[in-house]
Structure 1
């Protein structure tokens, strides 16, 4: 793929988690989260994007979200469980994107807030329709996803490089 290849990044926040007496990293999905994750998977399938790679946080709730969501996809992408996604800052998230191999066209990131919201907001130099207003109004709730497109290499990903194409929450379906 050349440097002017159009690419897409989909940022998916994990579905609603429970609060049992375990470490934050080990929190599982709640009953509501186990319903939201497949709905997010259906939305991912509706985008028509065939992901080349999925980066998923190692936290229990993100792994459970991905396990339920991926079942709704027609094609299972290569998945890398990335511990640096857990509690990642905006700068750390951008650095992870910059490490993505250039043969990856479309990337799915399954992570946490406030990182997913901050990254979607930072990448969105341009917006289609009311996607940004809806994202900012909702605050990027559990199982929400944002679709951002950009042209260039992964090493060129920085603030304002992309177009926010869509934003979806489980309340939208």
Structure 2
């Protein structure tokens, strides 16, 4: 792929998690509603024609469970999934550093992460660029569980930096 290849970053916040007693935050599982949300998010990706070829997922249990349920909805296709500790509790800048390590043959990357990192990342990458309605809804709604933002940019993954992308779409699921 060349330096001006169109690429997409699909940002997905994990689905609704449970809060069991005496379970460390990193090991919190999905709630029943979260399992439904994750399947709905996967179906939205299918309906939108999005089938990522690379997945970057936080190592937390709720993100791994979200990815597993999303993947079940997607057309069967080999995709790389990396469960990355650095995405857990990461700032937008830290996530950008991880995104810059994405293999060059990746066109569509799905990031499964947490707030406030995924909201901040989406805002930092897109700024005021993209679909006006999607930008306004993002500002109004923030990034609730199961929300999805689709950003596009042209260039290499090493060139991912603030303001490089535009927000193409933004979707939220019923809480």
Shorter-normalised TM range: over 0.9
Displacement after TM superposition at 1:91 (Å): 1.1
CA distance in structure 1 between the partners assigned to 2:169 and 2:37 by the alignment: 18
Please list the CA deviations of residues 88-139 of structure 1 after superposition, one character each: whole Å capped at 9, or x if unmatched: 1111101011111111111000000001100011111411131011112111
Structure 2 counterparts to residues 5-154 of structure 1, below 5 A: 5-21=5-21, 22-76=23-77, 77-125=79-127, 126-154=129-157
Displacement after TM superposition at 1:44 (Å): 1.2
- Structure 2 runs not aligned, ≥5 long: none
For these two proteins, the number of residue pairs brought into alignment is 172
Displacement after TM superposition at 1:6 (Å): 0.3
Displacement after TM superposition at 1:29 (Å): 0.5
Runs of 4+ in 1 over 6 A off after TM superposition: none
Once superposed, what is the RMSD of the aligned Cα atoms?
A: 1.2
TM-score (norm 2): 0.95
